[in-house]
Amino acid sequence: MNELIKVTKENAILTEEKASKIVALERAAKQIKEEEEALKAAILAEMEAKGIIKIDMGELLITYVAPTDRETFDSKALQKDDPDLYDAYIKISPVKSSVRIKVR
């Protein structure tokens, strides 16, 4: 069995091959996301300028969503103003384990 993680007294170390692969994938994903956001912004601007609501090209469907107001609930303010009422409505939900990877 090929170990991914080596443990020493000081810390745990991922194999160099896997660490490099994760860094490359994370950087590529970030670049793709940035390109996607820029393209979406350009499409949005042109759809607004031309009054287009929908573009349907079979495999690709783009729908313009107009600006609106969103109503949210400020739970932090309720917790501060009335902690007993806040506690009465708290719901605890299990969250599965995961890993968080950050490329610097």
95 falls within a domain: no
Tokens of 52: 């287009």
48 falls within a domain: yes
Digit-coded pLDDT (tens) for 58-102: 899 999 999 999 999 999 999 999 999 999 999 999 999 987 877
51 falls within a domain: yes
Q: Do residues 13 and 5 touch, judged by C-beta distance below 8 A?
A: yes
74 falls within a domain: no
Q: Write down the pLDDT at residue 103.
A: 76
Q: Write down the pLDDT at residue 1.
A: 64
Digit-coded pLDDT (tens) for 1-54: 678 998 988 899 999 999 999 999 999 999 999 999 999 999 999 999 999 999
Q: Write down the pLDDT at residue 45.
A: 96
21 lies in which domain range? Answer: 5-66
39 falls within a domain: yes
10 falls within a domain: yes
17 falls within a domain: yes
25 falls within a domain: yes
- What is the count of structural domains for the chain? 1
